[in-house]
Chain A
């Protein structure tokens, strides 16, 4: 820390402190990604490349019924004919889709009946990530599905949930055990032909979580999936499907990390949510994939399609996301508000630093009467990163009295980063009301000086201002996730906590 007066000789009023915080942010950027280690475990990885035989092989590995193999092949054929989207405000070299392995699983995986049969190395891995799976150590209030590379390795608390009729299992198991539900809902929200990455995912997805909450049941605990990419040169393509039947309620949490590697790795997930009449689904994500080093080398390409369908009247879907990882994020958790009086919500914090790029936002499509949507998006950019909010609010002709409120706030740290907002508003019904508020601010010299004059060092001051900026979103996270998110931001920005 230096503020020797002599050093300020040539400094401009705007310059000094910002440069100092730039330096600090740069120092922080060089800090290790805490989750960057990898597990040495023998894996079975199929050859690189993608063609119909690979799709069949994945389906075979998962012992899937024919209808599923066919479903995948149709998706593959669509994917071959489609091209990568190029409208996002991100720049990268197109991945070589033939240079990726589409399936990797820890070897000797038995049909796990109990956790005693799970490879201890896997249990260790998740324990090290702060997700203990063993019975005696588990988090009491949260059921966890742990996905390692292409497969689910363990799902906790299943018996308790089963007593209420709730199904919480790996999607590969659901395809075998609950084909009627999977056939009914898979692809019903995100069709196979939806977009390039959704088609790719539909062809090769290997695992993910399946949740079904029956009529009138309020899920007694939060459900959670933890995704871990471990193997090199593989992609992770998980698929999550959550169905809340009439009057059901469920909170779902998702976390993710990956080892530090110099090559970019592809993560292309699809998440589908279905809320029937009077049902509520709250979906929270803390995304912390490896983001690449300070020069922008390595990191995860996170190309994700997440969408929820408020199918029944008075249904509600709420997305909350804290995005701090990935080299590139391309992600728009959306809501189709079909039922009358249905409600869609999107609360987002996206933090980029170093050379990270994020293009994220939401789509709120109002179809039913009296539908309401709320969008609160907070974007924080530091270093040389670029962050964009992209959001669509569409109000269809039959959506009488639809309401939307959108608020996009951007916070810049330093003077080499960028924040961009791309709002699209498409109103086709005169009774609609939409509001859009946007702001861009820098962490001001004045805020830093004010904190410092109260004895708070500049690193903690930045962290405090940023956490304050995110408060409206953090308030929507479940308690332990909010604590996690606050910590994650502090680690990202100051490194002294956690």
Chain B
């Protein structure tokens, strides 16, 4: 579903991603781990289409048959890509319900479907909120405005549930969450796993992966994937830290 080849990107002339290869198939959960500053969040943002990054013209990303890098962010979302933000953005005066309905209807229209009216949307929203245990009060609150850190992250998962993407990228969704919030968020994600929906979890810690068990783990270091493996790799990282990989990576970089 997602095929990334030699993805390189920089910001203000500083190279951050230096040639990423990644293949994600339907139903798979991939974890991208790595120390701070390795380029994890950049990878998430570049895939979602943030314009601050300059993508190397030789990079290729195919998403469900489309050349992803040619599409502006909103068309990537309409194609079925979703990014749960590390720092969800506040939009004062716009209710969650209004925001989500506008988003959903733009996507529906782009696919030649009819817009959902307010009543139908309300039903759908209520159903999704029940599914992932979200307080119905969220619907009427302004998008992320005055939300606690944990509420913001849960709101991202609610959006994920409503938008029903084919591929969801979760950027450090676990950061800043206490253990209870982490469990709620993880339960939500697990309920949203389907045989056709894939996930990329960007995370610093192994902790999240005890709740959402990945099929693959990749270690990103200095803009490159220096090691890939199964879920056990995450446990090994938890035990040994990143340093042993850094040594390997140094050889890799020099080679």
Contact = CB atoms under 8 A, between A and B. Distances in A.
Given A464-B102, A468-B94, A8 B50 contact: no
Interface stretch (A32-40, A73-81, A290-298, A453-461): A453-461
A469 B92 contact: yes
Interface residues of B, number: 44
A464 B90 CA distance: 12
Interface string A229-244: 0000000000000000
A455 B163 contact: yes
Interface in A440-467: 444-447, 449-458, 460, 464-465, 467
Contacts of B94: 464-465, 467-468, 471
A3 B72 contact: yes
A445 B59 CA distance: 24
A446 B90 CA distance: 9
B103 A455 contact: yes
Contacts of A467: 93-94
- Main SS of the interface on chain B? mixed
B161 to A, nearest CB: 13
Given A3-B72, A5-B57, A456 B102 contact: yes
B69 A468 contact: no
Contact of B89 (A4, A11, A446): A446
A230 B89 CA distance: 46
Interface stretch (A12-20, A94-102, A312-320, A366-374): A12-20
A447 B94 CA distance: 12
Nearest to A471: B93
Interface centre among B49, B93, B102 (most CB of A within 10 A): B93
B55 A453 contact: no
A468 B48 contact: no
Contacts of A450: 85, 88-89, 91
A470 interface: yes
B11 A449 contact: no
B91 to A, nearest CB: 6
A464 B83 contact: no
B69 to A, nearest CB: 6
B88 A16 contact: no
A479 interface: no
Contact of B107 (A4, A447, A455): A455
B74 A5 contact: no
A124 interface: no
- Main SS of the interface on chain A? helix
Interface residues of A, number: 37
B42 interface: no
B92 A449 contact: no
Contacts of B98: 464
A498 interface: no
Nearest to B107: A455
A449 B53 CA distance: 13
Contact of B159 (A5, A12, A445, A454): A454
A452 B93 contact: no
A460 B12 contact: no
A42 interface: no
Interface string A457-494: 11010001101111110000000000000000000000
20 contacts: A3-B51, A5-B56, A8-B51, A16-B52, A446-B87, A449-B51, A450-B89, A452-B74, A452-B77, A454-B99, A455-B103, A455-B104, A456-B106, A458-B74, A464-B94, A464-B102, A465-B94, A467-B94, A468-B92, A468-B94
Interface of A: 1-6, 8-9, 11-13, 16-17, 20, 444-447, 449-458, 460, 464-465, 467-472
Interface of B: 11-12, 48-57, 59, 69-74, 76-78, 82-83, 85, 87-89, 91-94, 98-100, 102-104, 106-107, 110, 142, 159, 163
10 tightest A-B contacts by CB?
A468-B93, A471-B93, A468-B94, A455-B77, A452-B73, A454-B103, A5-B55, A450-B89, A3-B72, A452-B74
